[in-house]
Amino acid sequence: MIKKSYPLNNICTYRTGGKAEYYSRVRTDAELKDALSFAHKNKLEIIILGGGYNVLIHDKGVKGMVINTAGLNVYIIRDGETVYAGAGVSIDSLAEWACENGLRGLEDMSGIPGTVGGAVKMNAGAFTQEIKDTAAEIDMMSTDGRIYQAKGADAGFGYRRADNLKGVVLGAKFHLKNADSEELKKRRSEILAKRTDKQPLDYPSCGSVFKRPEGNFAGTLIEQCGLKGYRIGGAIVSEKHANFILNIENATSSDIYNLICHVRETVKEKTGITLEQEVRLIGF
């Protein structure tokens, strides 16, 4: 179903942002194709949202068609050491499922927010693992409704990107390895404990705001510049992890965006390093 003037603040994990001119939450390939067709017929820009993680939506909203794929193809199929997961499956749920079923290769991604579709498009990763390590084949739909398959080796995976995946992820096939499920569940518990210990999870955020610069860490640079606790409006640089910006008191997207800019400019001025955003800006 296609809706007009649909509020996006409850979809974005920052809990900020305006309305979509047009909006559709799709659950099947056919629904996705219909939404894309509507956008083309009406000459609308297409914006794909997964779970609403890692995005900041403008306070004035978004022109065009926002397609939410968080409910798209929510299923997991196992064939030996190969697992197929639909785009709408949460990456944390997939990691948990793999651990429970004695399959190694995704356990370090435990606790990562977002869906398989978004994780594939940005080559999500944590600790020792990235999507590119196990993604063998990706099913895609081009914006003109054509379904095609991309090999993982041809996806153009790099740090937090997949340059050659054009269109919308429908699902992906992962090649994992048989392993002891108890050992995997222990590793998952360790990863989740590390996240709880190091990351601020009590307030709305997008996760890491900036990508890791080569040979350094964004959080370390931000902390060295004395920016922990720096606040604009209702947005603040986390005292717990400086690469997190939190919505602690009814922040607007403008508050968060201005704080992102201030952090980047300050780090550039004091260290000479230009931080690259990991958070995706929509409508800015």
Tokens of 251: 């922040």
The answer to whether 277 and 208 are in contact (CB under 8 A) is no
Q: Which of 25, 90, 110, 160 is catalytic?
A: 160
Q: Report d(CA 210, CA 160) in Å as an integer.
A: 11
Q: Report d(CA 48, CA 69) in Å as an integer.
A: 7
Catalytic (active site) residue 188: no
Catalytic (active site) residue 181: no
Q: Report d(CA 224, CA 220) in Å as an integer.
A: 6
Q: Give the dihedral sign, CA 116/118/123/128.
A: negative
Catalytic (active site) residue 278: yes
Q: Which of 31, 96, 107, 278 is catalytic?
A: 278
Q: Which of 24, 90, 110, 208 is catalytic?
A: 208
**End-to-end Cα distance, the chain:** 26
Q: Report d(CA 15, CA 138) in Å as an integer.
A: 30
Q: Which residues are catalytic?
A: 160, 208, 278
